[in-house]
A and B are shown apart, each in its own frame.
Chain A
Amino acid sequence: MNTLWLIPFFPLLSATALILSGGRMPRQLAALLGAGSVGLAAISVVMVARTYLAEGEVQQLTLWTWIAVDNFTPRIAFYVDGLTIVMMSVITGVGFLIHLYSIEFMWEDESFCRYFAYMNLFVAAMLLLVMADNLLLLYLGWEGVGVCSYLLVGFWYRDPLNGKAARKAFVVTRVGDTAMALGLLLLFTELGTLDIQAMMATANSTWQVGDTLPIIATALLLGGAVGKSAQLPLHTWLPDAMAGPTPVSALIHAATMVTAGVYLIARNYELFLLAPPTLQAVAWIGVLTLLLAAFTALAQHDIKRILAYSTISQIGYMFLALGVGAFASGIFHLMTHAFFKALLFLAAGAVIHCLHHEHNIFRMGGLRTRLPVVFWSFLIGSAALAALPFTSGFYSKDAILLTAWTAPGNGPWLWAGGLLGALLTSIYSFRLVFIVFFGAAQTEPDRQPGWKMSGPLILLCVLSLVGGWFALPLAGVLPNKGHAGISHVVEYISIATPLLGLVIAYLLFLGKQVSIASLVASPSGQALQNFWLNGWRIDKLYDTLLVRPFKSITHWWRNEPVDLLYNAMVTIARWGHGRLVTLQTGELRWYATSIVFGLVLLLAIMLRNAS
């Protein structure tokens, strides 16, 4: 349909206008442009979705040919099928709510226009990413969202720590992006095209399941996905990226950008099906990440960092789903996660906004009565996060766990890991709720959230509750491994675990019937807490393994030893000059004598030759 191009066009136009205005636009206009453009994009998505659901046909639109070299002709073209519709709806729908929320959240900030410019640019780039019909355009969107993430994490650039966090995010994801670029090159060299549909067909005819080349190519693409989606080992950037404004964390680091890796794997699923070892790796990376992040979240005291580690953990679940072949379940969890994680971040943002920028949960408390809307949002969001029965998270996470059990090979181990993760998720999310919203109030809120903040919160609450009842139009687009024939015991255990976690959290943090204070205060307890607080010291590991050697090498080479050769030439020339200059005495007699000397020599030679 020829209105497909409108979807990324609205936010892109708005971003251009906001950038060109140089920050001089009046706030109301900037807010209207910023949120309105995403709203218009959302409406366009609804129209496209209706057409798709009615006709069931894939929609495509080619704008122009980007590069035309020999047989390499990627185009700026869009390809919209069920998967794209799901992603676009999440991006524009949740994105619009977050933009609306941001109007109130950022109202007093002096760089209001710049904020919305970057946010719109981000939405445009993300839409390009999911609508792209070839991997090169996808990579363009990929890099675009990376840049916008850097710009938005470092939004308050006057504080150098924010710049450092933004740089860290950029550099770590860059490692993944490089792997992905190599993967793209390999795919193009072997398959001759980067158009996704054509590539799938050629891959199926060229390669057999288990060939080396698809394994290498998919491993490289996995590298890119791991970087962008903050999985082990490239997850260290996400907690530090909480330095940006909270709506940014909600949009970029919860609902959309970090899911780009999941989308990449899902979109190229045929390639990944040709490489079973890579899929195994995907599943194991998912499990290990979700466990690592869950343990870390238990020991954090910054409200946003808890949510950040929680995001890492939940994306681990999505990777687990992809790894065991439940592609549709993974995307389903992506959607529900977008709802409740955005809800949680926006609610946390409301808490921070109303408590004059307090981040430490141990300095909050008793907000249940003081910020009721926020409390209910947090409660519903945490319930969905913990996958309590009948929330949206429950349906998606359960599907993943059960499919993991039936996976060939290490299925039960994967299931056990996911289950432990679910327990921990429940514990830390309710820990957060109980500490922040119950108990004695340490800090009083100095304002209440307005309708622009409460409205999106309420809407997202509704979506977190009913989102699990949507039937996603993914049939025929993504394969899904079912989980029939599982014994009921496994099912019941999967359902009961989050409830167990809720009980444990209640006992520890609310009712205080059980106290682990002595355990925590013991030396090994303290060591463990510090270990988890610092993210299993992985940052320190990277620092020792990579950063320090690099810095010491650059320090050792700071005098540019390669230049020694050229400097030696200069030194020799200078030395020669120094010696020769002594011949230039400026005295006439000396010059005359040297002329005679030369004459004597010359005549001697001539005489010898003549005789």
Chain B
Amino acid sequence: MDGLQIPLEHILVLAATLFSCGLMGLMLRRNIIFMLMSLEVMLNSAALAFVAAGARWGQADGQIIFLLILSVAAAEVAVGLGLVLQIQRRFKTLDMDQVNRLRG
């Protein structure tokens, strides 16, 4: 089935907004799980921008980049959640403000 013809600007605006929301969540939340979730939101918005670009030219490259972003997100989440488990074990809390042992 064919797609719609949508002004690219609108999609990119949506992507930008989603990105800012994710960024806001990253800066706002203290719980590490929510920070990871915000990261996912940001990755998703970037992927949206790529697919939109691919749709503009009618080529598959956008979706391929999307696939790669997806694998990056998957690997990152896997390792990140493992780290979350370790943090919970060592610091007995998920508050990232308490995990500041690298302070100078």
Contacts and interface: CB of A to CB of B under 8 A. Distances in A.
A124 to B, nearest CB: 67
Nearest to B32: A588
24 contacts: A584-B102, A584-B103, A584-B104, A585-B100, A586-B99, A586-B100, A586-B101, A586-B102, A586-B103, A586-B104, A587-B96, A587-B97, A587-B100, A587-B103, A588-B35, A588-B96, A589-B27, A589-B28, A589-B96, A589-B97, A592-B27, A593-B27, A596-B23, A596-B27
* A interface, over-half SS: helix
Contacts of B23: 596
A586 B104 CA distance: 7
A588 to B, nearest CB: 5
B40 to A, nearest CB: 15
A588 B103 contact: no
Interface in B1-21: none
Nearest to A593: B27
A596 B27 CA distance: 9
Interface of A: 581, 584-589, 592-593, 596
B42 to A, nearest CB: 11
B52 interface: no
B26 interface: yes
A131 to B, nearest CB: 73
B28 to A, nearest CB: 8
Interface of B: 23, 26-28, 30, 32, 35, 96-97, 99-104
Contacts of A584: 102-104
Leading 4 A-B pairs by shortest Cβ distance: A586-B100, A586-B103, A584-B104, A581-B104
A425 B28 CA distance: 104
A589 B103 CA distance: 13
A589 B27 CA distance: 5
Contacts of B100: 585-587
**Which of A585, A586, A593 has the most C-beta atoms of chain B within 10 angstroms of its own C-beta?**
A586
Nearest to B38: A592
Contacts of B32: 588
Contacts of B27: 589, 592-593, 596
A596 B32 CA distance: 18
A589 B38 CA distance: 12
Contacts of A585: 100, 103
Nearest to B103: A586
Contacts of B35: 588-589, 592
B36 to A, nearest CB: 11
Nearest to B96: A588
A593 B25 CA distance: 11
A588 B99 CA distance: 8
B101 A589 contact: no
Nearest to A597: B27
Contacts of A581: 104
Contacts of B96: 587-589
A100 B81 CA distance: 97
Nearest to B102: A586
A588 B100 CA distance: 8
